Amino acid sequence: MDKDTISSLTHGITLSERKSIIITGVKKIDSFDEDEFYLETSMGDLIIKGEELEIIKLDTYQGNVSIKGKVDSLNYTEIGKKNKESGVFNKLFK
């Protein structure tokens, strides 16, 4: 994706019966597994937690992601700020 495309992404979330979620405005997927997705969106970092989560559709050009599974929570963090307390060394030296 080029810089103009990334800056023009409109972010939105459509959640249906906690079983499927469509997210627009996704810049990149930082990490994911069946219990958690960590996405960078045009409106901040988004963490999705749940059970049996899996990607159904990924459109990297338009920044759209479809996920199915049981969604338990959606959590935003500030743009560009990772959860610094989640690092192994930070946990060891608390």
What pLDDT digit, counting tens, does each position of 49-70 carry? 999 999 999 998 999 999 999 9
Average pLDDT of span 9-15: 94
Residue 84: pLDDT band (50, 70, 90) is: very low
d(CA 21, CA 48): 10
Q: Does domain 3-92 have CATH number 2.60.40.2000?
A: yes
Question: Per-domain residue ranges for the chain?
Answer: 3-92
Residue 78: pLDDT band (50, 70, 90) is: confident
Q: In what order do the strands lie in the sheet with 36-41?
A: 12-16, 20-24, 64-77, 44-59, 36-41, 26-32
d(CA 75, CA 94): 24
